[in-house]
A and B are shown apart, each in its own frame.
Chain A
Amino acid sequence: MAQAKTKDLPAGANLPFIYREYSAERLKQALHKMYLIRQFEEGAEESYMRGLIHGTMHLSIGQEASAMGICMPLTNDDQITSTHRGHGHCIAKGAEVSKMFAEFFGKTTGYCRGRGGSMHIADVSTGNLGANGIVGGGIPIAVGAALTAKRLKSDRVVISFFGDGANNEGAFHEALNMASLWKLPVIFVCENNGYGMSTSMARSTAVPNVADRAAAYAMPGVIVDGNVLSEVAEASHEAVRRARAGEGPTLIESKTYRYRGHSKSDRNRYRTKEEIDDWMTNRDPIVRYENELMEFGIIDQAGIEAIREAVAKEIADGIEFAKASPSPEIRNLERYVYTETV
């Protein structure tokens, strides 16, 4: 369980939340996963450029702390709905990168057996009900999943990830209203990376913060620095507690930044190179987390290198697995449209 607390840190230190909450091992695992997300996406990007992946993909490089931090307090049984920029959520929730690569490569060994690709990546076995190609599409579904959790008294909580663009969709408002009305165990996580495709928050949204919307639905609205793992995890932790306690939903706005364009066809005309460089140089979530871990003596440079190498191998193996996997047969095209009757 996530709640196993770290007791071997300097006594009395006014440490950030996660260093009080989690064991060194869990914290190192979190770094491992953040690297896994980063390198997975870099590997996917490279495979894409080599023509091994078709379609498009939306990379979340730079947003790893947000995905990881939200998922830290979750159990395998808890569920998430994700977005088109959902690789990080999927990995943070526990998916295997080999099966994700296989999906991106369109193979039968992929999570969606080659039917979904990047935009619909899902691992139901670890509670990921799926990325979604429709902005805001997963939000009401998460509320429905939370309704199930409440009806079945399963103690499960449901996270709905979405971007800043979704906060102007009707589905967002309808879903938040119902979730609050019925006090459902759901947490709305807006990963605000500043742009809905090319349109900035300032140009699209009447309120300065997405979290400001929470007031309209009588739920807490929490803003965190999405590039600081501990801040994100702390907000998630509190929201999960509330949800499990039957106190209803929370809206978390995790302010972050994507390094890459909206998708692989983005020419980056709506933001400056300086702005991107600033985020990459000064606010990278992995670098910041590494520095903290080293500062608090949880890991050293060698340990970080070891993680990087392990992740690199995992990624290389995953790509090899995907390459070697079989493609679906055309004759099975119609499989999974309807539930097969046995």
Chain B
Amino acid sequence: MDQAVRELSYAQAIQEAMAIALETDERVFLMGEDIGVYGGAFQVTGDLVERFGADRVIDTPISELGGAGVAVGAAVTGLRPIFEFQFSDFATLAMEQIVNQAAKMRYMLGGAVSVPVVMRFPAGSGTGAAAQHSQSLEAWLGHVPGLKVIQPATPHDVKGMLLAAVADPDPVMIFEHKLLYKTKGPVPEGYYTVPIGKAEIRREGRDLTIVATSIMVHKALEAAKTLEAEGIDVEVVDLRTVRPMDKETVIESVKKTSRLLCVYEGVKTLGVGAEVSAMIAESEAFDFLDAPIVRLGGAETPIPYNPELEKATVPQVPDILAAARSLATGSR
């Protein structure tokens, strides 16, 4: 298909995906706090309420638990809700509906229903919003069978994966890093999907595999450029989906490079990189490892307010450079 490709921001790409979904599928509707005339806390829904009406772009009360439950109920009975959390942190208020209901309903009922709900979570630090508005909780939800959890890193992917999520019969949780909203990239016009559960090799390399998620993909790519000049040839794998994880792509990459560095913003302990590391340690790639697996994850603290502290909380490019160098030169 020849589709025109334009530069869009990540936020515009999401909006375009939602507009396409609303246009092409009567069952689709949006729910969330201040997504109507306000346009969403991050202006992602924008003017969709004007284009599609308040019946399909529904402002909810500040009721994350109830709202999530309504979305689940609507999904089970035939609609395709896209539920926006104002901040991913507010998932904590709705965990009951997400974890006990959305994720398990199909299983508990022996396959009698599907729960095609999409939930969007603006996530991550870097905005100075401190501890309760900056978390990366994808690992929490990634821990729950029945959910699909994705972290698109580019405008292209977020549009394609959101459309794939809407078409998916199961609950899909999208973690969108807030700092990505304004980043731009090529986005084809019209309908297309990017598969859920498929990682993408953003850069091929021989010496070291960096498995990164979300905004860390960009930091890893930036680091890879510097490392290239130093003769370290880095392969960057954009995991894209936390659950179900694309084990094959990661395993093949590690088999090739013999070195694995996981970079993720969520708290390091028990985070996505922990799972990737363990998965590799259990896999056939183990016998190809020529160095310990290294994880760079978020600090074991809440996200602080002070900008310098905040930066220090999550992996930055120099951290990736240092870790990659030590891995590639065998001093680790």
| A–B touching in complex (CB under 8 Å) | yes
Instruction: Report, nearest first, the 8 A-B pairs whose CB atoms are least far apart.
Output: A144-B73, A140-B69, A174-B66, A113-B110, A141-B73, A339-B169, A112-B110, A174-B63
Assess whether B308 is interfacial by the CB under 8 Å rule.
Answer: no
**B residues in contact with A147, CB < 8 Å:** 70, 73-74, 79
**A residues in contact with B77, CB < 8 Å:** 79, 129, 144-145, 148-149
Assess whether B71 is interfacial by the CB under 8 Å rule.
Answer: yes
Nearest Cβ on chain A to B114's Cβ, whole angstroms: 5
Assess whether A245 is interfacial by the CB under 8 Å rule.
Answer: no
- Kindly identify which residue among A129, A130, A140, A339 contacts B70, using a CB–CB cutoff of 8 Å: A140
Nearest Cβ on chain B to A108's Cβ, whole angstroms: 9
Assess whether B283 is interfacial by the CB under 8 Å rule.
Answer: no
Contact between A130 and B108, CB atoms less than 8 A apart: yes
Contact between B68 and A178, CB atoms less than 8 A apart: no
Nearest Cβ on chain B to A42's Cβ, whole angstroms: 25
Assess whether B76 is interfacial by the CB under 8 Å rule.
Answer: yes
For A, the interface residue count at a CB cutoff of 8 angstroms equals 45
User: Interface on B for A, CB 8 Å cutoff?
Assistant: 29, 55, 60-61, 63, 65-79, 81, 96-97, 100-101, 105-114, 145-146, 148, 169-170
User: Interface on A for B, CB 8 Å cutoff?
Assistant: 79, 81, 110-116, 120, 122, 124, 129-130, 132-134, 137, 139-149, 151-152, 170-171, 173-175, 177-178, 181, 335-340
**B residues in contact with A111, CB < 8 Å:** 109-110, 112
Contact between B66 and A177, CB atoms less than 8 A apart: yes
Contact between B109 and A122, CB atoms less than 8 A apart: yes
CA distance A338 to B67 in the complex (A): 23
Contact between A178 and B63, CB atoms less than 8 A apart: yes
Residue of A nearest to B115 (CB): A339
CA distance A120 to B146 in the complex (A): 16
CA distance A143 to B60 in the complex (A): 13
- Contacts A115-B107, A116-B110; A143 near B69 (Cβ below 8 A): yes
Nearest Cβ on chain A to B70's Cβ, whole angstroms: 4
Contact between A141 and B108, CB atoms less than 8 A apart: no
Contact between A134 and B66, CB atoms less than 8 A apart: no
Contact between B65 and A170, CB atoms less than 8 A apart: yes
- Kindly identify which residue among B66, B68, B76 contacts A129, using a CB–CB cutoff of 8 Å: B76
Contact between B101 and A151, CB atoms less than 8 A apart: no
- Kindly identify which residue among B55, B60, B108 contacts A151, using a CB–CB cutoff of 8 Å: B55
- Contacts A141-B76, A178-B63; A112 near B71 (Cβ below 8 A): no
**B residues in contact with A120, CB < 8 Å:** 108-109
**B residues in contact with A132, CB < 8 Å:** 101
Q: Which of A114, A120, A129, A148 has the most CB of B within 10 A?
A: A148
CA distance A21 to B263 in the complex (A): 68
**B residues in contact with A177, CB < 8 Å:** 61, 63, 66
Q: Which of A144, A151, A152, A336 has the most CB of B within 10 A?
A: A144
Q: Can you name 27 A-B residue pairings with CB atoms under 8 Å?
A: A113-B110, A113-B111, A114-B110, A115-B107, A115-B109, A116-B108, A116-B110, A122-B109, A129-B76, A137-B101, A139-B69, A140-B67, A140-B72, A141-B101, A143-B66, A144-B70, A144-B81, A147-B70, A148-B74, A149-B77, A171-B66, A174-B63, A174-B66, A175-B66, A175-B70, A338-B146, A338-B169
Contact between A124 and B69, CB atoms less than 8 A apart: no
Residue of B nearest to A340 (CB): B111
Nearest Cβ on chain B to A322's Cβ, whole angstroms: 15
**A residues in contact with B81, CB < 8 Å:** 144
Contact between A178 and B70, CB atoms less than 8 A apart: yes
- Kindly identify which residue among A149, A152, A178 contacts B66, using a CB–CB cutoff of 8 Å: A178
- Contacts A141-B69, A177-B61; A112 near B78 (Cβ below 8 A): no
Extra 19 A-B pairs, beta carbons < 8 Å, given A115-B110, A133-B100, A173-B66: A122-B108, A124-B109, A134-B101, A137-B97, A140-B66, A140-B68, A144-B74, A144-B81, A145-B77, A148-B77, A171-B65, A171-B66, A177-B61, A177-B63, A181-B61, A335-B111, A336-B106, A337-B146, A339-B106
Contact between A338 and B106, CB atoms less than 8 A apart: yes
CA distance A124 to B105 in the complex (A): 12
CA distance A26 to B130 in the complex (A): 62
Nearest Cβ on chain A to B17's Cβ, whole angstroms: 21
Residue of A nearest to B56 (CB): A151
Contact between A148 and B73, CB atoms less than 8 A apart: yes
Nearest Cβ on chain B to A306's Cβ, whole angstroms: 34
**A residues in contact with B79, CB < 8 Å:** 147-148, 151-152
Contact between B106 and A134, CB atoms less than 8 A apart: no
